[in-house]
Amino acid sequence: MKSSRLLLLAAALPLAAQVKLTQGSDRILIEIDGKPFSALFIGAETMKPYLHPLRSASGKQVTRSYPMEVVEGESKDHPHHRGLWFTHGEVNGYDFWGNEPSQKGDKKGKIVLKKVAELKSGKKSGSLTASFDWLDPQGKPLLAETRTVVFYSDPTLRTIDFDMTLRAVETAKFGDTKEGTFAIRLAAGLEEPEKRSLPKPARTGLMVNAEGKKGEKQVWGKRSPWVDYAGELEGEKLGVAIFDHPRNPKHPTYWHSRSYGLFAANIFGEHDFYGDKAKDGSMTLAAGESMRFRYRVVIHPGDAESAGIGAMYKEWVR
């Protein structure tokens, strides 16, 4: 009888998990507190793994739907801006950033799933660990990536930790270009308003960095340990913050963060960010060498000040 009760208890445990990860044929589904949060797309047709959509704790979608879905009021630029992703625009001359089949060019790389090593569901957090190959157009691997992503349960926040290690299969040069690297394409309502913005929904966003600088002109191309991008979605004030870990290469990162909703950390694009062709932000890994990148993403109510993003960052790095 005792063993039967233990078996019943063990069978019931997964139902109690507050962060649940489920692998499908082309994606890994993530549920938090019984509600859909996101999915990691890893299918054979995917040019790079990406999370789509990202939702707040209240259920509002904070990432753009296009090109996965067509939604009225969204701009249809940059079809390679899919949810949240991690790639770079120039590795040994190959483009892993603007690499959709619909885009021109014959030097498009592809990041393919090698193996899902582990999926964990749990009461307070859930995680996945997977390996990927960064392939040139001929299918030859340039980089081997190991990625661990942790998702957390919280009544008001949605927090994700990313830990990516890139190992060079052969000598790999990350070129100096603004087209990279750890990025989110935000929902239309979170974009900063500008003359070319579509009329609806209202663009209400504002980006703020750790130094208190505000707006694209003061944030784009500047270095900072974190940036928060906040506005209003369907009557609720919401924001998304990206934290750059102090042990990341070239910390604090530069920010390729645009009014139209692109929100990216990029350490490589120095000649673009400084407007100086003499600058060279490229980095080269010899065969067998590695680089490790860690980021935290926080989806929160309110703006950076009311959410206490600065204090959250200090607690994270502590």
What pLDDT, in 10s, does the model give residues 46-57? 999 999 999 999
Residue 4 counted as domain residue:
no
DSSP letter (8 states) at residue 193: P
Element holding 236 (H helix, E strand): strand 236-244
In a domain, residue 7? The reply is: no
Residue 235 forms part of a structural domain: yes
The three state secondary structure string of 202-219 is CCCCEEEECCCCECHHHH
The reply to whether 182 falls in a domain is yes
Residue 3 in any domain: the answer is: no
Residue 16: what pLDDT?
Answer: 64
Q: Is 60 exposed, middle or buried (0-12, 13-18, 19+ CB in 10 A)?
A: middle
- 134 in a structural domain: yes
Q: Does pLDDT of 224 surpass 90?
A: yes
How many C-beta atoms surround the C-beta of residue 9 within 10 A? 9
Counted domains in the chain: 1
Q: Check if the beta carbon of residue 220 is closer than 8 Å to that of residue 183.
A: no
88 within a domain of the structure (yes/no): yes
Based on its alpha-carbon atoms, the radius of gyration of the chain, rounded to whole angstroms, reads 20
In a domain, 33, yes or no: yes
Q: Which residues neighbour 88 within 8 Å (Cβ) at sequence distance 6 or greater? A: 96, 97, 174, 175, 177, 179, 180, 181, 268
Residues 6+ apart with CB under 8 A from 220: 255, 256, 257, 258, 273
The better pLDDT of the pair 5, 141 is held by 141
Q: How confident is the model at residue 17 (pLDDT cuts 50, 70, 90)?
A: confident
Q: Which domain holds residue 105?
A: 16-317
Per-residue pLDDT tens over the stretch 162-189: 999 999 999 999 999 999 999 999 999 9
- CATH number of the CATH domain containing 28: 2.70.98
